[in-house]
Structure 1
């Protein structure tokens, strides 16, 4: 075979392979530039760190992120997931009184301008009637309750609420927490080393606290819900 013939055959092979490779890179594998400890987030077309950053910034005032699955991403200006969303992509679970706006990728209050709480309502919260929340409605993702911050000199918490010291504040400050439903102090005050932080369950996408025990509703991609409904198992 002559040199010209061999060169022509090589060029023909390259002309066939290169378009296919370009199509594969451009369409079917957008996340191939992500690092080993990252995953591709299609909704924002970016690579995100698996498990989320170690110390994400708090959301701006009036904004919030689902505590069990998302964190505030300053670069994107919204909430982004800690792990790949599950295939069914169920809506993330916001805190009580907040609602997930999928087009904005963040939690916002059900009612951005809640009325002031009554001056002498020991167990009320916003909206009265002891049900807390920002006006209630059908969008609350947990049991309706509102934390109240008090001084040690104030009366004890209303029945059904536990007095939990507030980390990072004065030793005389505490908050009244319903540990039967509180995600981050489920079953006991986290600041006292009690209970469980349901938002820290590895692989969990949506979680809740039911009667002082964590409950996993859905898991992120690559995990499945355990038979006891309290954890996620890697696939």
Structure 2
């Protein structure tokens, strides 16, 4: 399977409600009523709820001085898939900014999104060597970028030339979806995948995009014993209480 770049419609309020403002000191519990209540309010199915809880339990193990984009940013993009659809585009807006710096004006850094930054390092860009989140386009900039794409020939040409025809179409579709649902758009890699299917033992064709969250890097079961894991969880509870606080 080939790892691709994806775009995840999620609002700043949802980033807080679904993830950042969760009481991390309670997430290691077998039953977390706050997550269940949040998931049920969004009509999440049982299988997605199990994945949501599993992902959040993995997030608890993140060090407070880690790179945010390859840890919490990645987990935020991951859980978005359990709430609503996301889009495979396979071209990075982060890389477009490296060539056309003015596109950075359409993004918002994590430092301005989060209520408290802790000791994290923020890249606000997609990493190439590890799965991570990338840039975040807030709702007001989603609207502005769509307006400029449709009304500014330079913006349209730069996006079309860099993304290519089919990927530019998919990217604009993700922006339109975000606008219609009043969300921003979070870039990520290492979450969604294209599966290869083999026909007639020889001809390989790409199947439709499918979610492969459980097989993503960083979401594997912890091999530690239950005793060791419980000890680690208690230490993490104290750590994340300091970083995130209790809600």
Query: Relative contact order (alpha carbons < 8 A, sep ≥ 6): 1 or 2 greater?
Result: 2
Bigger strand fraction: 1
Bigger helix fraction: 2
Structure of higher CA gyration radius: 1
TM-score by length of 1: 0.29
TM-score by length of 2: 0.28
